[in-house]
Structure 1
Amino acid sequence: MRSFPIIAVIGPTGIGKTKLGVALAKSLNGEVISVDSLQVYRDGGIMTAKPTLEEMDGVEHHLIDYLEANEEPSISDFVDCAIEKIKLVQKRRKVPILVGGSTSLTKPLLSHPSVRRQELNVVIMDSDMAGLGPRLDARIDQMVGQGLLDEARHLYNLERELRESEKGVRGIWKAIGYPELRPCFKVDEDSPLHYRLMAEGIAKMKVNTRLYAAAQLDWIWKDLIPEFRERGVGFTIFPVDFPPSTHTNLL
């Protein structure tokens, strides 16, 4: 029986993993398995940059949009689900395309015995922060235009309804964007303070997103790549260059 390899697309947030994953899936007759700890939630699609139906472009996607906002699966739960999805895709005689950059999930999944026994090919999308940073800022401005603030307000109301603030930060409320914007919903939304806190929240979201992307790149180069070399895993560095930013801030 023909063996179907596993392909993994890894890289920092905002670098274009979704687009590449879909392109590979269409080219290789594959299906995408998301490796993202926040896109698993039904809520927060804008904030977590969950792929839209248009972006999926007809490619089957797994492990997105299936958990309630306050669910908190363990790493082992996620890995077990991902392994089952890999088996399902291969049973359909298709190529599993793992797409993600979640540092908490990627390494445990790729280190699982079931994955280690198979042919694994990794594409690592790489960029420097000088190019990626402005792109991340532009993406957040785009999120604002897509309804980020209304989405964050919905999460704030849901948090209060479920009394989640009493249980510590978990679920979808961990997503970058919610903690930064939450203060603006605690004051009168017609007040100048509300708009000041909103602007500050978006600015903090940009800073924290850049810091997260930089941490992901650091982890990829200092932790993941050395392990791949030690294990003899085949990987390709895919450099991504971004043109100078020309976006306009929406606030």
Structure 2
Amino acid sequence: MTMVNMQKVIVIVGPTAVGKTKLSIELAKALDGEVINGDATQVYKELNIGAAKVTEEEKEGIPHHLIDFLDPKASFTVADFQTLAREKIQEITKRGKVPIIVGGTGLYIQSVLTQYEFAEQELDEHLRSQLEGYAMAFGNKALHNQLKEIDPESAKQIHMNNVRRVIRAIEVFKLTGQKFSETAFKKEPEYLYDAEIIGLSMERDLLYSRINLRVDLMIQQGLIDEAKMLFDKGIQNCQSVQAIGYKELYDYFNGILSKEEAINLIKQSSRRYAKRQMTWFRNKMNIHWFDMNGQNFAIKNEEILALIEGKGYLISNKYM
């Protein structure tokens, strides 16, 4: 399709701990750009360490949007993100800057870039209450198994602990007879922006090692205290603290897991999440991949900048 008059957007995707944040800052400096967060957990205030939010020092003065602005008790949907992110793209472009979306929540990012089709069916409160009761009585896995039976593709994409979305997927099927996985996107989505999508990948063992080290560092930085602060505030059974790193520690606080078990489970869950992220990105989006295995970051940065310059972006003189 033609890209005439379409707004330019840079997108950086990839699994957790692969180096997206560092690259986003370098590209923003080179392109006179501003960063739009594309991670579902980083929208919440007070979830800092576990969400791996970029620090003020790491930002190096680069403006960041849709990060650290939402009360942790609030819900946040794909539709919310789509609306806000598209507004930010407009604002940044009007200022003559380059919007750079960075994150690992693929559904959020794709909803912004493409003609995302939301399921508009009316909610059935009675059905929803039944499903919520079932999850409470028999557990998240049992509810997720219901989804797996009727819509295996959605079950692959939606984690069993994302109960709200599991319920929505089951609800859509029961109300309409359509699978949620078939209603979310057109088979060939139409892109609304001239998007250059850069993906960072890494050999699995190396990535998993980086994830384990990152979790250890989070613990050293005070993740347990951060999660306990949220727990003590009564921020429980909320969408925000279903995120990896918080839900495991909540089980520790509730006496379900030991501290060591909780930390090991955070590492395991993070590794599994990284695997799901890579599967999703490879299957759902057209991405220019860069292998980050043991590579000098400066060299990779030059390769990525060369690609972007070839697409018509102006690179700051100090990066040329």
User: What range describes the TM-score normalised by the shorter chain of this pair?
Assistant: 0.7 to 0.9
Which of 193, 206, 210 is 1:131 aligned to? Answer: 206
Task: Describe how 1:176-195 pairs up with structure 2 within 5 A.
Answer: 176-187=244-255
Provide the residue aligned with 1:48 in structure 2: 51
The SS at the match of 2:199 is strand
Provide the residue aligned with 1:100 in structure 2: 103
1:240 aligns with 2:301: no
Q: Does the Cα contact within 8 Å between 2:113 and 2:192 map onto a contact in 1?
A: no
1:152 aligns with 2:227: yes
In structure 2, C-alpha distance between the alignment counterparts of 1:218 and 1:120, rounded to whole Å: 20
In structure 2, C-alpha distance between the alignment counterparts of 1:75 and 1:218, rounded to whole Å: 20
Provide the residue aligned with 2:9 in structure 1: 6
Provide the residue aligned with 1:171 in structure 2: 239
Provide the residue aligned with 1:119 in structure 2: 194
- Deviation digits for residues 174-214 of structure 1, max 9, x if unmatched? 11011111132235xxxxxx9x7111100000000000001
Q: TM-score, normalised by structure 1?
A: 0.81
In structure 2, C-alpha distance between the alignment counterparts of 1:84 and 1:4, rounded to whole Å: 12
Q: For 2:27, give the aligned amino acid.
A: L
Displacement, 1:118?
3.1
In structure 2, C-alpha distance between the alignment counterparts of 1:219 and 1:102, rounded to whole Å: 10
Task: Describe how 1:20-31 pairs up with structure 2 within 5 A.
Answer: 20-31=23-34
The SS at the match of 1:109 is helix
Displacement, 1:127?
1.3
Q: Residues 200 and 242 (structure 1 numbering): CA distance in 2 closer, same or farther, change over 3 Å?
A: farther
- Deviation digits for residues 56-115 of structure 1, max 9, x if unmatched? 1110000000000011122111110000000010011000001011033122112148x9
Q: For 1:38, give the aligned amino acid.
A: T
Task: Describe how 1:191-230 pairs up with structure 2 within 5 A.
Answer: 197-224=258-285, 228=286
Q: Does the Cα contact within 8 Å between 1:38 and 1:48 map onto a contact in 2?
A: yes
Which of 61, 69, 72 is 1:69 aligned to? Answer: 72
Displacement, 1:152?
1.0
The SS at the match of 2:51 is coil
In structure 2, C-alpha distance between the alignment counterparts of 1:155 and 1:172, rounded to whole Å: 10
Displacement, 1:3?
7.5
Provide the residue aligned with 2:90 in structure 1: 87
Count the aligned residue pairs.
218
Q: Does the Cα contact within 8 Å between 2:6 and 2:192 map onto a contact in 1?
A: no
- RMSD between aligned residues: 2.0
In structure 1, C-alpha distance between the alignment counterparts of 2:36 and 2:13, rounded to whole Å: 12
Displacement, 1:242?
4.0
Q: For 2:252, give the aligned amino acid.
A: C
Q: For 1:152, give the aligned amino acid.
A: A
Q: For 1:186, give the aligned amino acid.
A: N
Displacement, 1:117?
3.8
Question: Which structure has the larger Rg over C-alpha atoms?
Answer: 2
Q: Does the Cα contact within 8 Å between 2:113 and 2:193 map onto a contact in 1?
A: no
What residue ranges of structure 2 are gaps of 5+ in the alignment? 117-189, 296-320
Q: Give runs of ≥4 in structure 1 deviating > 4 Å.
A: none
Q: For 2:239, give the aligned amino acid.
A: G
Q: Does the Cα contact within 8 Å between 1:181 and 1:197 map onto a contact in 2?
A: no
The SS at the match of 1:72 is coil
